[in-house]
Structure 1
Amino acid sequence: MRHSLAGRAESPMQARILAGLRDEGPLSKAQLADRLQVSRTTIAVEVARLVELGLAQEAGPAASRGGRRSTMVDLASDIRFVGVAIGATGISVGLTDGRLGLLTVRERPCDIRKGPEVVLASALEEVRAVLAEAGVERPIGAGIAVPGPVDFHRGVPVSPPIMPGWDGYPVRDALSRELGCPVVLDNDVNALAVGEQHAGVARAAKDFLYVKIGTGIGCGIVIGGELYRGVDGCAGDIGHIRVEDGGPTCACGNTGCLEAFASGAALGRDATALARSGRSAVLATMLKERDGTELTAADVAAAVAQGDPHAVQLMRDSGRRVGQVLASLVSFFNPGLIVIGGRVTGLGHALLAEVRAVTYRSSLPLATGSLPIVLSELGDEGGVIGAARLISGSVYAADERS
């Protein structure tokens, strides 16, 4: 399939039509007129223009409601978005249709510390591979997420603690040139939050927090159905909230940060120390099998599954500190849902139980009485879907949630 690049919506009304078709599926012109509270004539004109732009298509007659039958409208069948989720240790690339249904996903390991040229070259290889696999010449747009603070409007990372060499690098513009399509750049946890909102457990939530616990720790904030980035784009950077005076030095240069105590990198560091000291025979065996290579949060999860008390304590300490910070956020924000995601959730319900217990115990009953705290069900695909969701909001235009 060869895809000629479509245009963008030209008016708020067109944007609302496209967003409705994306989120709800095909709708009749009569349904669109009712939902948007405009005349059918107005809808007919706007839909006709969207068809000309290559963004929508008419899909046959709707079921009769009496009188003249309306026409069904759907997104153009050849719309394709690319979502790129770059993490600290790997890249996920996916191709979606206009409704953000995943058509194909590719993953590869990659060290974010190698710098933007190396990492983006790897990402572009995967993008071109998924496009070639699907027979797509170029997508209508691409979204990319990175594990650090981002100036969303300029499309550049800003002083990202775990991304040496990325500060100010024109990621958005570089990828836009290479792919020949519009590109948006955002923080990884923001992409995960909107991915969860679109296709995960937060579909019915208007006010929720998405907390990622991976190599770093961050929080995506959704208020009234809209992603909240803050004035400078760094809202939700909870990994650098101080939880103790002193302690390990964080990647940001400060001490006592949540991330320095409870992230996947911190769990791996502390597990390696336990193994080398001989205090944990289970972890020591794992380290020996790795030929001395440092352990990871996945190893801690494996040791917890074997009942190792030292690994269990590491998990509990991590969950306790995360819960303490979440309790403060609950008191301040009063969300309707908290979703926990990221690679450290490989610790599963044991970690979740600790986070829940501390959060509920440390918050006022009014704020937590009906507050679900749940694990994400999307996994690594959440970032890809979220990145595609972000660019769909830009291409479909005037999307209030992007």
Structure 2
Amino acid sequence: MYAVKTFNAIAQVGLDTFTDDFTINQTDEPDAYLIRSVNLLKADFPESLKTIVRAGAGVNNVPLGRATEQGIAVFNTPGSNANAVKELVISLMIATARNLFAAHDYSDEHTEADVSQRTEKDKTKFNGTELAGKRIAVIGLGNVGSLVANAALALGMKVIGYDPYLSANAAWRINNRVKRVDSIKKAVKGADFVTVHVPKNNETIGLLATKEISEMKDGVVLFNYSRIGIVDNQSVVKAMRSQKISHYCTDFGEPIIADQPNITITPHIGGSTIEAESNGAVQGANTVMDYLENGDTTNCVNLPNMQVPFETTYRVTVIHQNVPNMVGQISTQIATRGINIENMSNAAKEKVAYTIIDVDGLQEDNQSALIATLESIKEVYRVRVIKHK
């Protein structure tokens, strides 16, 4: 039996996904946390905690380094809210192209008796443009960016994509009419719209700033529905004063862009749809179960992604530092106890490695001793023994 503790409002359809082998919110010492936006950066984790799963894309609310050192696998649910973000970006693209925000403000201010005659006279002030034939640069072609690119193509737009880290799986999702280039400069050159969809990390903070914005055409419309800081807001405000940017839409407010004309700020609602929350909850629940019951690390953000068929009675998983001779030490300790290794898989992610060992000959009363022996290796963070269902 495994215990799960939830934070925030997790959609009931996700909680209903758990099998009878899992209890929900019945202890403060659970095996898993299933979370959304709760800030865990300063939280103390119980020793029982083996995994934290974020029902959403970002994990900037989780202390990844500390979690890794405590042997806690951290996951997200990429793609679960991708369609929601795509639809919001497309709707805002249409709204800015057709000047809907200014048109609404005008209509709200003019409700007098002669409104029909007056609006017929004034409506040309709000003449917009159509998206068909316009050029859009999509920076980042992952779960969200690929959907935006394909949707823009369906609207008759010319789509230029840039993503130096594009995975093979993501590449299959992208329409072959999306023109891919090898630099941001080439992507934004001549674009009427620029939208960014990349994860936030040390390489992407300030990804679009003064230099990159200077390469854009005058009057460009810019979108940031990734994370705050990926687009430098100070550079945006400066560019709007010179009319380099005609409109900026973002999901992340900041004082410098507050109360600015032609800046539309939505309150972090990109992924906030009923469907997206349900998708994330279901995917999150399945992730918790796959990790606790099988040791699978698909979509893990602090361990290498591994999915190995579980065909023996017991599986030993080891989270450890990525240093020489770890596999040798682990296998030696198992062999000296007369336990036969049927299959062993190992992979690394930067400074962390993960080893999965399927074994025969392991007795239940010897499990604790084996775990203690392996965890006595100073480079080992956590050892688990999983029994095949």
TM-score, L = length of structure 1 = 0.25
Q: If the length of structure 2 is used for normalisation, what is the TM-score?
A: 0.25
Q: Which has the higher helix share?
A: 1
